[in-house]
Amino acid sequence: MGCKQSVFNGHSEKLFVKRHLGPGVQVSPLDLGGKDSSKGVWDVFEVLSFHELYDANPDWMNMTQISWRERQPGDGEASLNDDLDDDDDGIDNLDEDCIEGSDGESDGYSITSSLSRRSSSARSRAKSASATRPVTAVRQVATPSDDEVRPRTLRPATAVPAKPAVRPPLTQSLFPNIPPTIHFETEGFKIEQLPWDLRKLLKWRMSPITPNIVKHTLARSHFRITKRNHDWLGCWGKHMKSQGFKSIREYQKLNHFPGSFQIGRKDRLWRNLSKLQVQNGKKEFGFFPQTFVLPSDLKLLKRAWEDGGPKQKWIVKPPASARGIGIKVINKWTQIPRKRPVIVQKYLGRPYLINDSKFDMRIYVYVSSYDPLRIYIFEDGLARFASMKYSTAMKNVNNKFMHLTNYSVNKKNSEYQSNGDEALCQGHKWGLKALWNYMKRQGVNTTQVWENIKDLVVKTIVCAESPINSMIKSNCRSRYCVHELFGFDVLLDENLKPWILEVNISPSLHSNSQLDINIKGQMIRDLMNIAGFRIPDKADVLHSNSVAPSATEFSSYYPPNDVCMDKRLFTSILAPDERAKHAYYCQRHQDEQVLQTILDVLTPDDIRVLTECIDEDSRKGSFQRVFPTPSSHRYLRYMEAPRYYNLLVSQWVQRFNRMEQKGIALLEQFCDEGINLQNPTEDQNHQWCPPNGLLSHRGDNRTHSAPNKHQDKESAMKHSQSTSSGLPKMGKKPPKAPVPHASHAHHSGTARTISQCSSASSSLVSAPSPTPSSQTVNKSAASSSR
């Protein structure tokens, strides 16, 4: 294993990279002030950031550990561990914590505890680093590196421009008064640096499982690592107990939702899906093989076993594992384990075969928010083939190379063939797009198959929407703080029907071929762009004990510049009329006519949520949004309880289907007036009152109960008729409202500066994201506004 250390010598930083040279390689120790007596070979780089390090040695991520003193005196020490030595999904220790009867939370570590656990070793490393005298001589030995022994991170064989294309560091919102998001790129692109004042805030918290593909993406955007609790903006790590989410601050983002084990554990997934199957029938929810959770379902299994007859095969799995570990195909009752909890599932014995081999698909699903629910599917993915031709013969049931499609299992077969080209249908791993092309040539209607997969994905996410939302609400400060990538394993049967086998909450992002790098690299780039990381307000980061601001604080808050995060946009504090509006529409969610009036008066909070959805969609790259869509309201009925934001966004996407620009123009106008930053608003055009005038005083601080449904429907209709004309009433420009707070006026002014600046000088703005609607602000624009 290798490690890196760096020394802050007052003027510049030196980073020492020690490479692991493999057993038996003779190396010389480097004297680091007597502190390091281990053997190794060291390269020294003068570095300022990940990015420069990356430029100096693009393979630096393959080193195992980094520890360094950052340039600013007093800054914390950071450490980075390398990728796991595997290419399969993470297990996330869900099984240790999620036993039946417990609250089922996954085992992990809280940010606080994990840092404190590591802090003593971090401190001692920091001490040794600072005690080190500056090194002037560097000894380098030309020996094979890790990469030569076992290629883990590959450089693209495909055309990478000699001089990488340069991209601006920020992506501008489509709307005024909404700060930009940090821009991410793939290999072959370089991102301009922000001014140091902003760049120093780009900090990431490393976890031992952060994949290289994520690290590379961060490096290109000039992120640096931190071990401190309060100054990181993002983390890609293990799942953790839901309590741990409480320590995530409003400007930080973790790549998991509390409670996502509700779909990430096989037993929970089955329980949640089967509940909806009972309610809605097998036609809608018949895409999951019948499953029994043992020991509790043993009697039910016995009955189904007998009904299935002697030819039925079953598959036994641990309830919360991955990589094919502990999985067995069985056909004898005596093979059922009795001593450990397992799930026993009907084996799908007639899969769709290609070249006589079984395969499954890895579909990448990204949920950026659970409320409102926003689900994206990546257009590309992987098809993973079993490495032995398929047979239904009973004598082969024990052959894992025939029945399991996991890479971890099949790589052990000497027949396994890798594939480096995502466009080619060769070897045992194909790109999903290559698979579709192949199947199209076989006459398969792949569009229909893809539609069915999307349907399965939305239903699967929806099945645990309720418990996950409860956990988010009780443990997270804001919807900004959590997001998650899921790896769906989908099998096609001989009739091309997709079946969900499992959902991984830590899908493998390890990349040991060019195919992996290309597909996963683009996917992560797009995911990070959708996620919409923001530069934090420096004042928040400095106050290491900051607490969520109260409503009064929000009304007097304004960010120091127009590039850093505006906390008001993510507040969960609602004005009284907004609370009443939520209650009103949730109670009448089944009445389509009443629902259509939800857009008649848009409150500041409505505008915040809608602009966030639209902005996010414009950054989606090669992801497809599958919820919300103009037809996704059909899924709302599967949710345990109606959620206001889903109703709102659903109406919006239906109303402005095929005329998105009209909707954007309208919201642009409201944001230009600063309505989205008000809480509460004094603009009567954006204060909601129920159709029958139950809230007698606009802006009244009391929340009123909603009227009964019958009475209310009529008045809602009247209200709608009187306020809308064809298109929603909000299509008309409302009278200019007085700006209620000096702070808003100020902010509004600076936001105009940035947009004027960007549009005035088109050379400062480019559109790096694949969607034309998304613009990017470069550092000049950013700094000019400060």
The residues, any chain, with a CB within 8 Å of residue 540's CB and separated by 6 or more, are: 249, 250, 251, 546, 567
By CB under 6 A, is residue 382 in contact with ligand ADP? no
Contact between 351 and 499 (Cβ < 8 Å) = no
Letters for 525-564 (x = contact with ligand ADP by CB under 6 A, - = none) are ----------------------------------------
Q: With CB under 6 A as the contact rule, which of the stretches 124-132, 402-410, 479-487, 692-700 interacts with ligand ADP? A: 402-410
SS3 86: coil
Q: Which of 415, 427, 425 has the alpha carbon at shortest distance from 388?
A: 415
By CB under 6 A, is residue 416 in contact with ligand ADP? no
Q: What are phi and psi of 240, to 5 degrees?
A: -145, 170
By CB under 6 A, is residue 185 in contact with ligand ADP? no
By CB under 6 A, is residue 322 in contact with ligand ADP? yes
Tell me how far the alpha carbon of residue 368 is from its chain's centroid. 6
By CB under 6 A, is residue 508 in contact with ligand ADP? no
Classify the phi-psi angles of 74: left when phi > 0, otherwise alpha if psi is within -120 to 50, otherwise beta. left
By CB under 6 A, is residue 489 in contact with ligand ADP? yes
| Least distance between ligand ADP and beta carbon 288 (Å) | 9
DSSP readout, 109-168? --HHHHHHHHHHHHHHHHHHHHHSPPP----------HHHHS--S---SS---SSPEEE-
By CB under 6 A, is residue 664 in contact with ligand ADP? no
By CB under 6 A, is residue 187 in contact with ligand ADP? no
Angstrom distance (rounded) from CA 290 to CA 488: 18
| Torsion of the alpha carbons at 209, 213, 214 and 215, rounded to the nearest 10 | 80
Contact between 544 and 229 (Cβ < 8 Å) = yes
Nearer to ligand ADP, 76 or 507 (CB): 507
| Least distance between ligand ADP and beta carbon 348 (Å) | 4
Nearer to ligand ADP, 353 or 767 (CB): 353
By CB under 6 A, is residue 758 in contact with ligand ADP? no
Angstrom distance (rounded) from CA 667 to CA 13: 47
Contact between 584 and 689 (Cβ < 8 Å) = no
Angstrom distance (rounded) from CA 461 to CA 483: 13
The one-letter code for the residue type at 699 is G
| Least distance between ligand ADP and beta carbon 408 (Å) | 8
Judged by CB under 6 A, the residue of 70, 87, 360, 537 near ligand ADP is 360
The residues, any chain, with a CB within 8 Å of residue 9's CB and separated by 6 or more, are: 134
By CB under 6 A, is residue 202 in contact with ligand ADP? no
| Least distance between ligand ADP and beta carbon 153 (Å) | 24
# residues contacting ligand ADP (CB under 6 A): 20
| Least distance between ligand ADP and beta carbon 365 (Å) | 15
Angstrom distance (rounded) from CA 551 to CA 475: 19
Q: Render the burial of 485-521: b for 16+ CB within 10 Å, e for the rest.
A: bbbbbbbbeeeeebbbbbbbbbbbbbbbbbbbbbbbb
By CB under 6 A, is residue 327 in contact with ligand ADP? yes
By CB under 6 A, is residue 315 in contact with ligand ADP? yes
By CB under 6 A, is residue 571 in contact with ligand ADP? no
By CB under 6 A, is residue 507 in contact with ligand ADP? no
By CB under 6 A, is residue 345 in contact with ligand ADP? yes
| Least distance between ligand ADP and beta carbon 78 (Å) | 33
| DSSP-assigned letter for residue 39 | B
Judged by CB under 6 A, the residue of 215, 216, 230, 317 near ligand ADP is 317
Helix (H), strand (E), coil (C) string for 560-589:
CCCCECCHHHHCCCCCHHHHHHHHHHHHCC
| Least distance between ligand ADP and beta carbon 489 (Å) | 5
Judged by CB under 6 A, the residue of 177, 262, 321, 571 near ligand ADP is 321
Nearer to ligand ADP, 322 or 580 (CB): 322
| Least distance between ligand ADP and beta carbon 216 (Å) | 26
By CB under 6 A, is residue 410 in contact with ligand ADP? no
Q: Strand pairing partners for 205? A: 226, 235
- Which contiguous run of DSSP H or E holds residue 43? strand 41-46
The one-letter code for the residue type at 237 is G
By CB under 6 A, is residue 642 in contact with ligand ADP? no
| Least distance between ligand ADP and beta carbon 270 (Å) | 11
| Least distance between ligand ADP and beta carbon 501 (Å) | 4
Angstrom distance (rounded) from CA 461 to CA 367: 9
Nearer to ligand ADP, 61 or 453 (CB): 453
| Least distance between ligand ADP and beta carbon 404 (Å) | 4
Nearer to ligand ADP, 360 or 379 (CB): 360
Judged by CB under 6 A, the residue of 115, 501, 666, 706 near ligand ADP is 501
| Least distance between ligand ADP and beta carbon 527 (Å) | 22
Q: With CB under 6 A as the contact rule, which of the stretches 191-199, 321-329, 509-517, 734-742 interacts with ligand ADP? A: 321-329
Nearer to ligand ADP, 317 or 582 (CB): 317
Judged by CB under 6 A, the residue of 186, 262, 406, 508 near ligand ADP is 406
Judged by CB under 6 A, the residue of 404, 435, 535, 580 near ligand ADP is 404
Q: With CB under 6 A as the contact rule, which of the stretches 254-262, 340-348, 592-600, 749-757 interacts with ligand ADP? A: 340-348
Q: Which of 54, 43, 34, 55 has the alpha carbon at shortest distance from 3?
A: 43
Q: With CB under 6 A as the contact rule, which of the stretches 367-375, 404-412, 562-570, 709-717 interacts with ligand ADP? A: 404-412
What residues from 274 to 293 belong to the interface with ligand ADP (CB under 6 A)? 289
Long-range contacts of 555-560 (CB under 8 A, 24+ apart): 555/679, 555/741, 556/741, 556/743, 557/743, 558/743, 558/744, 558/746, 558/747, 559/179, 559/747
SS3 367: strand
| Least distance between ligand ADP and beta carbon 286 (Å) | 14
| Torsion of the alpha carbons at 424, 425, 429 and 431, rounded to the nearest 10 | 60
Nearer to ligand ADP, 403 or 620 (CB): 403
By CB under 6 A, is residue 348 in contact with ligand ADP? yes
By CB under 6 A, is residue 208 in contact with ligand ADP? no
* Bridge pairing between strands 170-172 and 181-182: antiparallel
End-to-end Cα spacing for the chain: 44
The residues, any chain, with a CB within 8 Å of residue 193's CB and separated by 6 or more, are: 51, 169, 199, 222, 779
Nearer to ligand ADP, 2 or 90 (CB): 90
The residues, any chain, with a CB within 8 Å of residue 538's CB and separated by 6 or more, are: 201, 560, 564
By CB under 6 A, is residue 383 in contact with ligand ADP? no
Letters for 442-481 (x = contact with ligand ADP by CB under 6 A, - = none) are ----------------------------------------
Nearer to ligand ADP, 327 or 342 (CB): 327
In 10 A of CB 371, how many CB atoms?
Answer: 17
Angstrom distance (rounded) from CA 638 to CA 335: 37
Q: With CB under 6 A as the contact rule, which of the stretches 29-37, 320-328, 684-692, 770-778 interacts with ligand ADP? A: 320-328
Contact between 209 and 240 (Cβ < 8 Å) = no
Q: With CB under 6 A as the contact rule, which of the stretches 33-41, 342-350, 527-535, 590-598 interacts with ligand ADP? A: 342-350
Q: Which residues bind ligand ADP (CB under 6 A)?
A: 289, 315, 317, 321-325, 327, 345, 347-348, 360, 404-406, 489, 491, 501-502
